Structures are given as C-alpha cells and as structure tokens.
C-alpha cells in the first residue's frame, strides 16, 4: 500500500468554476481531498483559458502534460502519487495505462461528471425523433469505451443515482466500483430567504448554461421556437434573459428585443443574475448527470420550471422547487403560474431550501467519502482481485492503447 498522501488529478480541461458545474465540481473534490491531508498536483494536456481558476491560490500544483508522450511516464513515476483521479473517461483512456504501468499501487478513481454514453444516446434518439430506451446504450461505441474505463478504475464517482442504477442493472457493474457523490454545497450556501430579493423585487425569466454543452444550446433553441411564444401570449411584457459562457454566433442571432428574448452572454456573477430573476427556465430535452444550474437556482431562492431530464435524480422523494413538465404547453402554463402566483412561488422557494438541506450538503457526504477512500487504500489488492473484469480489461486495453500511443509518439517525431 502506498503510504504517501499525494493526489494527482488529470484534468480534461483546467477548472473553470464560473463557466460550468463541472468546474465547480472539480474544486469541491480538491477541497475534500485537501481536508483529508492530501497534497495535490493538477495536470492537464489542455490549453490555458482566460477563465481558468488560479490553482496556486488553492495550494494546488499546476502541471502541463502532453498526450501520447513518454515524458508523462517519467513525471508520474517521480511524483509517485498514492491516488490518481481521472477527470472523465477520455482522460483515463489516454493516461490510465501509463499510471497502471508506472504507479501500480496508486488508487485509480474516475470522476465521470455524467455518463457520456447516456447523454450521447439520448441526443441521438432526440435527433432521430425516437423514444430513448436504455437498450439503445448497448450499441453505443462510446458506451463500450466508457464502461471499460469504469471497470479499469478502482472506483467511479457518480453524481446521479439514476446513472448508478443504469450501470448496475443494464451494464451489470458491481456496486463496489461505484460511489454516489453529487454536487455539494456548504452550510453557508443554504439560503436565508428573508435576506434574498422578495417576489416583488424580482422580475423576468432567466436561462443560464455553458454553450459549449450541446444540451444547453438545444434547450435555448427550444425556448425560442416553442416555449417562449406560448409564454408571451399570456404575458406579453415578459422578458427572458439568456446567459451562458461561450455563446456562438448562432446563439447570439437568437437575440430579439421585440419578443423580450435577450441573449446576454457570459454572466459576470451567475448568482446575482439568478437572484434578480423571478423564475428559472431549464427546458432540457436530452442530457445526463444532475444540473448545476438548477441547484444554483435553489441556492438563489429562485423557483424553476424544467423537464424530467432536467430534474432527473435531483429531488429523490422530495417536492421540486417549482414544476417538472415535458409538454411545452404545460411547461409554459406552469412558468406563467409561478411568475404570477406569489403563494405558489414562495412554496416552491421553500422546497428548494429543503432539497439543499436533505440532499446536497457536504456534511452529509464528507465523512463517508473519507472512510471509503481509506478503506480502499487499505484493501486495494483484495478490491482488485474482486474486479476480475477490470483486471482483464486493464491487461488487454493496456496493450492496445499502449502500442497505439507509442506509434503516435514515433509518428510525431
């Protein structure tokens, strides 16, 4: 067993907590491990971005690495981490075999963010105008890659209970390889409703979401073409402010002042923007994971109307902080009701606070997570013996990925 307490995170991108829920999630994981006494190095092959967080301010060492390059082998061997966390399965595919070869005793953890194969299969079904069924996943190439990655790792962190069920029953993955850890909030994030802007002080609808994420772009198109016309028929003066990082030209072209459909681009402060609004609209038609934007709405005391995809795995058996509707007519009606009915709005707001307290507080998860990591570290050899499929895949994929990578490295010379 590796006794040092050094965590290496290999990031798909550098964390941007103000651009996406994934960036916020990564900072939460960093904080959880630091609390357990881990020294952290964050490595990524990604380009620097204008909005990435300054990792040095969080006592995290930043390291740029190269794809398909043996310089990583020397780097990881020298670092000798006790845990390696892969940010999404594509990163595990690239670097997992190198970690297994150079640091065989390091605990390998995958942070799935959300199940990519689920998002992809739903998106395909949507585009092909058919109903998504779970067996669609079994023919997805990305599912084969993602499931192989989950099996090769010692533990995969999951943010959605629905996705854990899917992996357990559809893909027959052993529960000991999966760990439920949703997006987390601190006690200070529980909103004091008396201190937030009141119903009367708020106005307008708001949508917020990173436009590099296809489900968000599709949701805005759906709002523009189908739902918003139904809302302004009932509320002619209504305004919808659409915020999101990285809006493309096609997003900007949807701006229409006459219709009250305003594309605002990146929000300087997402919390302020959502707190000023009366209702959040999240008309997601495909996607996976749980939605940071809807958790943020609860924090801001802003009720929301979303779809069953939007609310998936978010409220357990508790009431939603607003309404969940898949039919565009009902969606628009509920949005108008919530906008106009103060009592309904206030009840929705209270539901959001309850959801945060019961399902998203860090204190509900941190001790159990710490125990899980310690237990795995102490029994890693036995844990791996029980995951024969993972060892098998490690053996075969390691060889194929390794030689493909070495071939690319030679070619690049």
Mean pLDDT value across residues 239-261: 95
Residue that the structure tokens 């009592």 belong to: 343
pTM of the model: 0.93
From the list 102, 106, 105, 104, the residue with the least C-alpha distance to 9 is 106
User: Residue 282 in 3-state DSSP?
Assistant: strand
Per-residue burial over 280-308, b = 16 or more CB atoms within 10 Å of its CB, e = otherwise = bbbbbbbbbbbbbbbbbbbbbbbbbbbbe
Strand 6-10 and strand 39-44: the pairing is parallel
Per-residue model confidence (pLDDT) at position 1 = 43
**Do residues 118 and 288 touch, judged by C-beta distance below 8 A?**
yes
Per-residue model confidence (pLDDT) at position 203 = 97
- Percent of residues, the chain, with pLDDT higher than 70: 98
Q: What is the pLDDT of residues 259-288, one digit of tens each?
A: 999 999 999 899 999 999 999 999 999 999
Per-residue model confidence (pLDDT) at position 121 = 94
Residue 57 in this model has a pLDDT that exceeds 60: yes
* Residue 107 φ/ψ, nearest 5 degrees: -70, 130
Q: Where is pLDDT greater, at 11 or 19?
A: 11
Per-residue model confidence (pLDDT) at position 391 = 86
Per-residue model confidence (pLDDT) at position 20 = 83
CATH level 3 topology of 187-360:
Rossmann fold (3.40.50)
The overall average pLDDT reported for the chain is 94
Per-residue model confidence (pLDDT) at position 3 = 59
- Residue 193 CA to chain centroid, in angstroms? 27
Residue 399 in this model has a pLDDT that exceeds 70: no
Q: What is the pLDDT of residues 130-162, one digit of tens each?
A: 999 998 899 899 999 999 999 999 999 999 999
Per-residue model confidence (pLDDT) at position 8 = 98
The span from the CA of 351 to the CA of 318, in Å, is 8
DSSP letters for 376-402: HHHTHHHHHHT-HHHHHHHHHHHHHHH
Per-residue model confidence (pLDDT) at position 240 = 98
Look up the CATH architecture of domain 6-181+365-412.
3-Layer(aba) Sandwich (3.40)
DSSP letters for 150-207: HHHSSEEEES-HHHHHHHHHTS---GGGEEE----B-GGGS--GGGS--TTT--SEEE
Residues of the chain with CATH 3.40.50.2000: 6-181+365-412, 187-360
What tokens were used for 192? 């004091």
Mean pLDDT value across residues 251-258: 95
Q: What is the pLDDT of residues 195-231, one digit of tens each?
A: 999 999 999 999 999 898 899 999 999 999 999 999 9
Q: What is the pLDDT of residues 99-115, one digit of tens each?
A: 999 999 999 999 998 99
Per-residue model confidence (pLDDT) at position 136 = 87
- Residue 54 CA to chain centroid, in angstroms? 20
Per-residue model confidence (pLDDT) at position 2 = 46
Q: Helices 89-102 and 141-152 sit at what angle, rounded to 10 degrees? A: 40
Q: pLDDT grade, residue 358 (50/70/90)?
A: very high
Q: What is the pLDDT of residues 175-194, one digit of tens each?
A: 999 999 999 999 999 999 99
As a whole number of Å, the CA-based R_g of the chain is 22
């Amino acid at each position: 067993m590796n006794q040092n307490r050094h965590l290496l995170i290999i990031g798909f991108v550098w964390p941007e907590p103000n651009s996406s829920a994934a960036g916020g999630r990564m900072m939460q994981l960093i904080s959880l491990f630091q609390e357990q006494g881990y020294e952290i190095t964050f490595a990524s092959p990604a380009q620097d971005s204008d909005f990435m967080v300054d990792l040095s301010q969080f006592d995290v060492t930043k390291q740029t690495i190269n794809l398909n390059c043996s310089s990583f082998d020397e780097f990881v061997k020298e670092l000798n981490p006790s845990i390696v966390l892969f940010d999404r399965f594509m990163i595990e595919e690239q670097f997992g075999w190198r970690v297994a070869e150079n640091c065989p005793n390091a605990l390998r953890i995958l942070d799935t963010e959300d199940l990519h194969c689920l998002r992809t299969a739903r998106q395909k079904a949507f585009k092909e105008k058919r109903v998504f069924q779970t067996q669609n996943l079994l023919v997805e190439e990305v599912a084969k890659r993602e499931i192989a990655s989950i099996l090769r790792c010692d533990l995969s962190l999951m943010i959605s209970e629905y996705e854990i069920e899917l992996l357990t029953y559809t893909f027959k993955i052993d529960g000991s390889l999966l760990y439920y850890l949703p997006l987390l909030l601190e006690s200070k994030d529980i909103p004091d409703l008396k201190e937030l802007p009141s119903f009367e002080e708020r106005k307008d609808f708001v949508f917020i979401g990173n436009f590099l994420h296809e489900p968000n772009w599709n949701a805005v198109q759906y709002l523009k073409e189908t739902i918003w016309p139904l809302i302004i028929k009932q509320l002619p003066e209504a305004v919808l402010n659409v915020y999101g990082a990285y809006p493309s030209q096609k997003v900007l072209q949807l701006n229409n002042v006459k219709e009250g459909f305003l594309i605002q681009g990146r929000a300087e402060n997402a919390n302020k923007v959502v707190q000023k609004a009366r209702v959040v609209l999240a008309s997601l038609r495909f996607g996976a994971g749980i939605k940071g934007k809807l958790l943020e709405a609860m924090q801001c005391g802003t009720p929301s109307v979303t779809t069953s995809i939007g609310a998936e795995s978010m409220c357990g058996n508790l009431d939603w902080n607003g309404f969940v509707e898949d039919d565009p007519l009902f969606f628009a009606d509920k949005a108008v009701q919530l906008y106009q009915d103060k009592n309904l709005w206030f009840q929705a707001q209270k539901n959001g606070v309850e959801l945060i307290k019961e399902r998203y507080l860090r204190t509900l998860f941190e001790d159990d997570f710490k125990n899980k990591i310690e237990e795995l570290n102490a029994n890693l050899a036995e844990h791996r013996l029980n995951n024969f499929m993972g060892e098998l895949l490690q053996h075969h994929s390691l060889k194929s990925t390794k030689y493909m990578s070495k071939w690319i490295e030679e070619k690049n010379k």
